[in-house]
Chains A and B, each alone.
Chain A
Amino acid sequence: QKEVEQDPGPLSVPEGAIVSLNCTYSNSAFQYFMWYRQYSRKGPELLMYTYSSGNKEDGRFTAQVDKSSKYISLFIRDSQPSDSATYLCAMTDFLYNQGGKLIFGQGTELSVKP
């Protein structure tokens, strides 16, 4: 069983739709939870991060973490064609000054149709 599971999709939605992306994990030591966006043939870019449980909002994006269920989500409101990309969840049991290897999900390919 993988430490982080993510539905690979692909997911296709019409422009303006609300998108929900999810990951589950098994390691209860994970404390930091990140969402990356990766366009084709590019490196991942950080969208948002959350420490421990709770919600975080940034514009059209909302990240949620439920540590009791070992479940994280990313919501995209009013989705745009420019949001079409692969979305990767990542997490770590980061220890300060001891590095922090990221454990990634498989990635969900999202396509937003005009």
Chain B
Amino acid sequence: DAGVTQSPTHLIKTRGQQVTLRCSPKSGHDTVSWYQQALGQGPQFIFQYYEEEERQRGNFPDRFSGHQFPNYSSELNVNALLLGDSALYLCASTLGAGGPYEQYFGPGTRLTVT
């Protein structure tokens, strides 16, 4: 049973560019959340997708957007990249009706903005 998978593993971008990160949830899960983890910090909630719609959003600017596909996979898009966007981006999946503790995290995508 595959867990949460994310691609790519690493990414280097230049300031001002745009980036798309991808996530496939654990088998049977229908809800995907995205988190940003800066070096030495805990993950910060970006947003959550359920039934192809954004259900909750954290305190992130509109440069951060997402999408969920009918197969429950998800993308995170970041426009006009800033140096401060350099971080580990984590995807977590769960069942929409499940408990908050049932969130399974992927290995993350490490984004470096130069």
What is the interface of chain A, defined by CB distance below 8 A to chain B? 4, 6, 8, 32, 34, 36, 41-46, 49, 88, 90, 92, 94, 96-107
- Among candidates B41, B45, B104, residue contacting A101 with C-beta atoms closer than 8 Å: B45
With most chain B CB atoms within 10 A of its CB, the pick from A8, A44, A96, A103 is A44
CB contacts (< 8 Å) of B110 on chain A: these are 41
Given contact pairs A42-B108, A46-B101, enumerate 10 new A-B contacts (beta carbons under 8 Å).
A43-B106, A43-B108, A45-B105, A90-B42, A96-B97, A99-B31, A101-B58, A102-B33, A102-B35, A104-B42
For the complex, give the distance between the alpha carbons of A103 and B59 in Å.
12
Chain A residue nearest in CB terms to B31: A99
CB contacts (< 8 Å) of A100 on chain B: these are 94, 99-100, 103
CB contacts (< 8 Å) of A42 on chain B: these are 107-108
For the complex, give the distance between the alpha carbons of A104 and B37 in Å.
10
CB contacts (< 8 Å) of A45 on chain B: these are 105
